[in-house]
Amino acid sequence: MRNDFLPMPALVEDVIVETPTIRTFVLQLAEPMPFRAGQFVQLFLPGVGEAPFTPSSSPSEPGRIEVTVLAAGRVTAALHELAAGAEVGVRGPFGRGYPLHELEGHEVVVVGGGVGLAPLRSLLYTLFERPGFARRVSIKYGARAPQELCFRSQYADWAARPDVDVTTTIDRPSAGWNGRVGLVTTLLDGVDVDVRDACAVSCGPEIMLKFVARKLVDVGFRAEHVFLSMNRNMSCGMGICGRCNVGSRYLCKDGPDLSYAEVQAVPYALG
């Protein structure tokens, strides 16, 4: 039985540059680590520390996971210095993951911002591998600039799937960009789904989650059908340190994906 306090050794098999500030690390684990889309792991670097990340790869490959990392602090900056052949430690998985039972049989709107598309990609793989599980998947994704859009080479393949559509936007006009311009919330105006029956899943900066959740409810989604990936302040992964509580819930155990209905009345839950 795996000890959740001890990191499992993992080899960095490849490092994929996604954007100037985001890289995907392909990790070959010492032994398979089964996980569900939306669960997170702790990556450990000896002498540096550890930080939580949600795998961006398919749960159907538990022995080889991908973790997509934005350089934003000490641990993430150190990770960005790694090359293929380096070794890291992995603890987990932790959390409940996305509520697939709630999504089954519904239209699903996936709303991502910046590196927030990484955890959602694991969910997309899960849905794509189960044809007919969701009636339709509508992907809405935004970043500050074209060069900061993650996984750009995959959008066409995603959109070519039956009952899947992809719409992207950037925050401000940019030379050479002919697509949508505006915050990701603008993609939710007149969204083409049955809003009272559809589900939405969103991941991105906390301030984005707040306005995405409000927008979805404003256009008719039920708060209990809006699920937010609240990946913040998670440390131990087991509800012991108490850093990640949102009201009476601990994101590392009860989340990190909670419905808007569960958090909308909690002061400062979304900043």
Is 3 within the bounds of a domain? no
Domain for residue 23, yes or no?
A: yes
Specify the pLDDT at position 263: 87
Domain membership of residue 123 (yes or no) is yes
CA distance 169 to 72: 23
- pLDDT confidence bin for 1, thresholds 50/70/90: low
- Tell whether 214 is covered by a domain: yes
116 lies in the same domain as 246: yes
Residues 158 and 74: their CA atoms lie apart, in Å, by: 34
Per DSSP, the chain holds a count of helices (H) and strands (E) of 7, 15
Confidence of residue 271 (pLDDT cuts 50, 70, 90): low
Note the pLDDT tens digit of each residue in 101-144: 999 999 999 999 999 999 999 999 999 999 999 999 999 999 99
**DSSP E strand stretches across the chain:** 8-19, 22-29, 40-45, 49-53, 64-70, 87-94, 107-113, 136-143, 164-170, 180-181, 199-203, 226-229, 245-246, 249-250, 257-259
191 in the same domain as 120: yes
119: Cβ–Cβ under 8 A, 6 or more apart, which residues?
37, 38, 40, 54, 55, 56, 203, 229, 231
Using the 3D structure, point to which of 63, 94, 125 is the last residue of a domain: 94
Q: What is the pLDDT of residue 196?
A: 93
Domain boundary among 62, 77, 94: 94
**Which has the closest alpha carbon to 197: 65, 67, 109?**
109
- pLDDT of 172 strictly over 90: yes
The domain total for the chain is: 2
> What is the model's pLDDT at position 173?
95
Please report, as a single letter, which amino acid is at residue 199.
Answer: C
Pairing of strands 8-19, 22-29: antiparallel
User: In this structure, are 86 and 142 located in the same domain?
Assistant: no
Interval 42-100: pLDDT, tens: 999 999 999 999 999 999 999 999 999 999 999 999 999 999 999 999 999 999 999 99
Average pLDDT score over the chain:
93
- For 152, the domain range is 100-263
Tell me: do 90 and 105 sit in the same domain: no
157/63 same-domain check: no
pLDDT of 246 > 90? The answer is: no
- Once rounded to an integer, what is the mean pLDDT over residues 239-255? 77
- CA 44 vs. chain centroid, Å, equals 19
